[in-house]
Structure 1
Amino acid sequence: MSYQYRIHKADQPGSPLLFVFHGTGGDENQFFDFGRRLLPQAGIVSPRGDVLEHGAARFFRRTGEGVYDMDDLAERTSAMADFIQTHKQSAKASNAMGLGYSNGANILASVMLTKPDLFDAAVLLHPLIPWKPAPQPGLAGKRVLITAGQRDPICPPDLTQSFADYLTLQGAATNLVWHSGGHEIQQSEVAAIERFVGENVR
């Protein structure tokens, strides 16, 4: 598999590398400029999902709302991990961080569950992990921010909390930030992301 993607190379070798992943119906432009503002000194890599659902780009297939094609997810997680590894090696990054929203958060989380060494920190905006992940000792020491809406109709809050609890049990430094709304990104989330990045990426 290959991805269309947008990239900004860091000015200095060894700078941080930020991967950004769009939500369903987005593309490589959705969070690219946001990533540039978050980490002006970093390299930015923003792939476009290679699955189309009624014309909307996604990173893996599903058979219904919240029902994933797990075989397809496994295959595309492996392909994304290879893509990430290639860009990490090319950039010789000092550390790597991922940021994803909705479907983008889900592929980022799936990569972290299978290849936890690829990221030092991650921001998961409104993730939905509707299965019970296997234990992953490699998550110990990773830094994760999850943001979510208490009335999100797509990502049930109990599943969000369960995934945050799972990450904590694996030894990840996990911070879960709620807002009172739904699946939309609110300004309070942006502020939480800015704080997290400032504390965890140099």
Structure 2
Amino acid sequence: MSQYHFRSADGASADAPLIFLFHGTGGDENQFFDLAGQLLPGARRVAPRGDVSEHGALRYFKRTGEGVYDLADLALRTDAMAAFIREQIGAKRPSKVIGLGYSNGANILANVQFNFPDLFDASVLMHPLIPFTPAPVDLTKAEVLITAGRRDPMASAPVTEGLAQYFEANGAATKLVFHEGGHEVRQEELIAIQQFLA
């Protein structure tokens, strides 16, 4: 990754939980940084900035249309992100490694999990859209929370439910939480995330 934002929470020990934060399209490394400090006090936080520009909006990988991904680019950037994550984790793994991503950030996080299932102990996927069927992988050590809107115009409820079923079928302890809105993040979602991280 060419750019990333890193700040250590006050008093965070070396083995404190480490949380990676992935912004949505048009966001940046600051989008969830302060929120994560409230949701998981004492954790170390790393927020990488997407280095793909789509008409000036930052993303983590290219797409050719709404919901149509450049899969070759996704594969390259997934490998690069996994290398970045390993570098940040370091030689001594912290007590827990967590990922939290929204929209495009949830998509890169999910794809890292499909390809490198050993990296994250837990993940929060907010409004993900995975328009392909991932290969089976051992996710028995993972905990996954998916949050979504039932009326999300970008990621339909059936597609989101299919992703939850994929994680369950591959052994992850999976929870799916819907709100009644669209692609926006709502308060009940944040409450569910706080409970999951606790």
Report TM bin, short chain. Answer: over 0.9
Question: How many angstroms apart in 2 are the aligned matches of 1:165 and 1:65?
Answer: 23
Write the letter of the residue equivalent to 1:54. Answer: H
Cα deviation for residue 3 of structure 1 reads 2.9
When the two structures are superposed, what TM-score results if normalisation uses the length of structure 2? 0.97
Write the letter of the residue equivalent to 1:147. Answer: T
Q: What's 1:135 paired with?
A: 136
Q: What's 2:51 paired with?
A: 50
Question: How many angstroms apart in 1 are the aligned matches of 2:110 and 2:53?
Answer: 20
Question: How many angstroms apart in 2 are the aligned matches of 1:63 and 1:82?
Answer: 25
Q: What's 1:185 paired with?
A: 185
Question: How many angstroms apart in 2 are the aligned matches of 1:17 and 1:67?
Answer: 31
Q: How many pairs align?
A: 196
Deviations 1:131-175 (A, max 9, x none): 0111002x1131000000000000111110001001000010000
Task: Pick the structure with more helix per residue.
Answer: 1
Q: What's 1:41 paired with?
A: 42
Q: Does 1:94 align with 2:86?
A: no
Equivalent residues in 2 for 1:26-175 (5 A)? 26-89=27-90, 92-137=93-138, 139-175=139-175
Q: What's 1:4 paired with?
A: 3
Cα deviation for residue 90 of structure 1 reads 6.0
Question: Is 1:16–1:95's contact at 8 Å kept on the other side of the alignment?
Answer: yes
User: After TM superposition, which residue ranges in structure 1, 4 or more long, deviate above 4 angstroms?
Assistant: none
Question: How many angstroms apart in 2 are the aligned matches of 1:82 and 1:180?
Answer: 37
Cα deviation for residue 37 of structure 1 reads 1.0
Question: How many angstroms apart in 1 are the aligned matches of 2:192 and 2:85?
Answer: 25
Cα deviation for residue 82 of structure 1 reads 0.3
Question: Is 1:17–1:91's contact at 8 Å kept on the other side of the alignment?
Answer: no
Counting aligned pairs with the same residue, the percent is 57
Q: Which runs of 5+ in 1 are unaligned?
A: none
Write the letter of the residue equivalent to 1:186. Answer: R
Write the letter of the residue equivalent to 2:87. Answer: T
Q: SS in structure 2 opposite 1:127?
A: coil
Q: Residues 90 and 45 of structure 1: is their aligned pair in 2 closer, same or farther, counting only changes over 3 Å? A: farther
When the two structures are superposed, what TM-score results if normalisation uses the length of structure 1? 0.95
Question: How many angstroms apart in 1 are the aligned matches of 2:2 and 2:192?
Answer: 30
Question: How many angstroms apart in 1 are the aligned matches of 2:43 and 2:101?
Answer: 17
Q: SS in structure 1 opposite 2:21?
A: strand
Write the letter of the residue equivalent to 1:96. Answer: V
